Amino acid sequence: GENVEQHPSTLSVQEGDSAVIKCTYSDSASNYFPWYKQELGKRPQLIIDIRSNVGEKKDQRIAVTLNKTAKHFSLHITETQPEDSAVYFCAAPVKGTALIFGKGTTLSVSS
């Protein structure tokens, strides 16, 4: 079936470094790619999203890039801070009915 693969599953960086999380999707009809951040014990929250008519979108220290030909999209976090530590999920819609989520990346930022 349709799925979304996410890598890496864990990522440890030093404060101030950059972090990159990558996802691939299988449904070529997908045209919306959100990223969610989930802190421990909290709900997932939308942090940035991109639609298929653009290749890159930035919001302060976070950015998302999309390569529709290769069916890849990535989250980039620059100048990481300890409060960026969380689980990050990519997602893509399947047949327009619901978002399918990647398995998550646990990001740890050490000071």
38 binds another protein (CB under 8 A): yes
Minimum gap (Å) between residue 110 Cβ and another protein: 20
10 binds another protein (CB under 8 A): no
Backbone angles phi, psi at 9, to 5 degrees: -80, -30
Candidates 24, 89, 107, 109; binder of another protein (CB under 8 A) is: 89
Tokens of 77: 């976090």
Minimum gap (Å) between residue 107 Cβ and another protein: 13
For the chain, where are the E strands, in sequence order? 4-7, 10-14, 19-25, 32-38, 45-51, 56-59, 62-67, 72-77, 86-94, 98-101, 105-110
Backbone angles phi, psi at 28, to 5 degrees: -65, -15
97 binds another protein (CB under 8 A): yes
18 binds another protein (CB under 8 A): no
Minimum gap (Å) between residue 88 Cβ and another protein: 11
For residue 102, the number of C-alpha atoms closer than 13 Å in the C-beta half-sphere is 32
Q: Which residues bind another protein (CB under 8 A)?
A: 31-32, 34, 36, 38, 42-46, 49, 87, 89, 93-94, 96-101, 103-104, 106
